[in-house]
Structure 1
């Protein structure tokens, strides 16, 4: 079938066939995301999106708008349904409590998120020009809708469309200049460019946009080759890291009855020799355990701190996830509990902490405006903390003996572009402790790692990532994985700390350069109503 005939079928489709085309086209975009990373398939959802908007017709602006909003919702619903299906695994960890609510995560959340591309389709239709300019309009509106999705209601920038190109290390280097949202607007334009092959233009005109898109793609690859050195990244002298990945089942991890057994498992695994010439924890300067490591409050369990002190040599520091109790305010019945990173010295003393600032709605706390309704139907947050976690006050560098200042990031805090850096001087690396055990052997942990890698590229900082079930990894400032442990395995990972590079343009200017792209794309589109 020729591109023109294919475009006509999409444009002229109506009713349920049109909705099905939108649903399947959006869903195909998930194939370009981790773990498959079939990035050339970005052409399918973006090209079909152009033709779907072309087909949003009517006798006035209102019918056109309604048609575009509807088809945009179905397109977005397909994308989020296929890309976020793995969220259902979290509802099965405590199936007796949460299994009945699985549709809320697997269907209702994608249905809500689909509102953002629906708005993008609608706004694009109002400004829809003839010719190749409509590709730039679509890129602007979808990218702006993704920026909104990353900020509205605390934000959920998971699987932003630019992540379809982020799996390719050289293409992803452009994020060091414009960030994820800048990469997104370019990715959409590249993916949508073949839509002109199905247009009514004749001769060379229909090839102009695809050829330009290939040239831009080649430029991105060339920039990546220029930016990334061929030699390994230099490392920080005197630093020997050991990341411990316990691979504990999520249902066992938060059971207080398992506290002693879990700690003993951590201690034994951390001291494991990895070769005939290694001496376990005696060889390392910093031992790193994942998020929410214990089903008890470490700071209020002296016996656990004593056992840790007995393990650590005088030159070794432990960095671990742990729940931390704050001070109860007057009139409060219980102290606030924080999801924290704590630093423990060789004497078993907690010398510094970071409290998670950006909590997961419904996972770690219930939004205040919905809490009464949610608890009324028998639901609670997933974590086994009465009332949920409290939010930390501010993001500040974490001080760790023998290391540069760290940008501490717990779990999905690392997926927010432009928000990963603490206040104050630029840190020397990013430290991401997470527990993806909620999601089992699914796409979720791979998507999480890919987004964390992109933060390293954006900021020009190495990333140290310790995960309960994986994927634990050491990533350099160019997003290259230096060492890693596979998903679903138990083990320890020994590695050096890569050095940071000079602050990237994105680290200096943030999303300002994305805004420049938005204005430039709109200017180039020669926007006019059709």
Structure 2
């Protein structure tokens, strides 16, 4: 197993080792919102790393899989809520489907564990671990972010939104933050490992990483492009189980309209995802035209989440529409599998009818870039979990003066999902150096500044209007210019270089 040895030989029993890896994954969940105990993002992977050097690759796979089951099992188990309450399958079936999903995604952590254990079996000097572990970890997280349309939830970099490491986000993105976090894990491991030489150098490396993050956070990568203006986000708090009932259409629209009419002094007013539970053409005369006229009369504009139907093709889109100015709309491009579209529809169409999820057969939009012009500025827009894909959000830049995200996290009830989603939105603001305006149905609506800090937010599950001032920004962070590829290619090259050296 080379010259790297575990720091302790306790947990010699395989069962205890796998339980330890599972606990390490569960512990990592506490690093994310709403708990936000970011040091635990070090402790969870550190415990896993403690177990890997004395493991065979096969055992490493099991340890990695156990870690993934702990992380995803506790971190995203809220997925069962939408399947149970809105898929009409029943609690047991919903839990079984969710566990199957977690089981499958955890296999990626198994591959990461196998790869690390395989490398540690080779005759490597201890310093090789400094880039092997971070590179394998980040490549695994990145793979999870695009494989089968991607599920980039609980990427460990998000947990550092309030830590000194957040300074690396505008430079390297969330995967770069993960890389620095895992490098810190390896340095901490070596610091605790008996017999480690040059401990002062190892401690200095830790100080350099975390101190460097603090210093980078002082850098302003972007600058104002105009005067501040007032915005309002409308959170109507419409229960998801009532949202698509026909008898709720009029009360829903009346609530949104009433809340909006008190905010005409704002230059931009934003309604959340599918705020209007009807196709645009069905409410054009009764709702959209009168609202647009009111907005023009008050020198304001609206962004409204509404489904749009194409009468020629029969396709319908999850869209964000502008009112009060030039009528345009953006159609969501990155749809949620099973919730908004059915993969392999030809074979799985009966599943759509069985699940009975409302509006679950959207067509993806075809816009090259996610841009809309509102309040006199180009805005980078995203719908729901599109904001979990940093490179897709960055496609709107550097033209976009600010970012807008509309969501409906009511699908997942009072769970970890809304605060986790807000944490992701904060990372997008920090990566791009732009304000993020986040409007949601039941919470958490928020106004986020270019440093990823909350300037205001709406309490969850309450009807609320969040208003504040936004400064349009210009310029581009390094991350906007190079995207995730800087970290991904760097990680790949490091691993290729290591393998080449070993072959020689």
Hey, what does 1:84 align to over in structure 2? 76
Q: How many residues align?
A: 494
In 2 relative to 1, CA 104–356 (structure 1 residues): closer, same or farther, beyond 3 Å? farther
Tell me if the contact between 1:476 and 1:499 (Cα under 8 Å) persists in the aligned partners: no
CA 193–427 in structure 1, closer or farther in 2 if over 3 Å, else same: same
User: Cα–Cα, structure 1 residues 131 and 396, in superposed 2: closer, same or farther, change >3 Å?
Assistant: closer
Cα deviation code 1:444-463 (max 9, x no counterpart): 11111111111111122221
Q: Distance in 2 between matches of 1:39 and 1:525?
A: 31
Give the match for residue 268 of structure 2.
286
Distance (Å, rounded) in 2 between the aligned partners of 1:181 and 1:209? 23
Deviation at 1:517, TM superposition (A): 4.2
2:136 to 135, 141, 145: 141
Q: Deviations over 1:198-252 (max 9, x none)?
A: 53425x44564344223311221222134489xxx85843732121111111111
TM-score by length of 2: 0.90
Structure 1 pair 299/236, CA: closer, same or farther in 2 (3 Å)? farther
Aligned partners of 1:459 and 1:425: how far apart in 2? Answer: 9
Hey, what does 2:282 align to over in structure 1?
Answer: 300
Distance 1:164 1:364, change over 3 A: same
2:192 corresponds to 1:217:
no
2:165 to 159, 166, 171: 171
Q: Determine which of 247, 251, 256 is the counterpart of 1:261.
A: 251
- Decide whether aligned partners of structure 1 residues 490 and 133 sit closer, same or farther in structure 2, where only a CA change above 3 A counts: same
390-399 or 78-87: bigger deviation: 390-399
Corresponding position of 1:60? none
Q: Which residue of 1 aligns with 2:16?
A: 17
**1:125: how far off?**
2.0
**Cα distance, 1:423 vs structure 2:** 6.2
SS in 1 for 2:321: strand
Q: Secondary structure at the match of 2:399?
A: coil
Change in CA separation of 1:504 and 1:105 when aligned onto 2, cut-off 3 Å = farther
> 2:126 corresponds to which residue?
131
**Structure 1: which 5+ runs fail to align?**
57-63, 272-279, 330-334
Aligned equivalent of 1:276: none
TM-score in terms of structure 1 length: 0.86
Q: Deviations over 1:387-431 (max 9, x none)?
A: 611111124354334331111100000010211134686211111
In structure 1, how many angstroms separate the alpha carbons of the residues matched to 2:59 and 2:410?
A: 41
Please tell me whether residue 379 in structure 1 is matched to residue 358 in structure 2.
no
Give 1:490 shift: 1.3
Indicate which of 165, 178, 181 corresponds to 2:175: 181
Distance 2:328 2:119 in 1: 53
Query: Retained in 2: the 8 A contact 1:167–1:450?
Result: no
| Correspondence for 1:466 | 439
Match of 1:454 among 427, 430, 433: 427
Relative distance call for 1:134 and 1:244 in structure 2 (3 A) is same
Structure 1 residues 499 and 308, CA, compared in 2 at 3 Å: closer, same or farther?
A: closer
Partner of 1:116: 108
Give the secondary structure class of the aligned counterpart of 1:34. Answer: coil
- Following superposition, the deviation at residue 98 of structure 1 comes to 5.0
Residues 129 and 186 of structure 2 are in contact (CA less than 8 Å); yes or no, is this contact kept in structure 1?
A: no
Root mean square deviation, CA, Å: 2.8
1:325 aligns to what? 309
From 360, 365, 377, give the equivalent of 1:392: 365
Counterpart of 2:30?
Answer: 31
SS at match of 1:303: helix
CA contact (8 A) 1:418 1:511 kept: yes
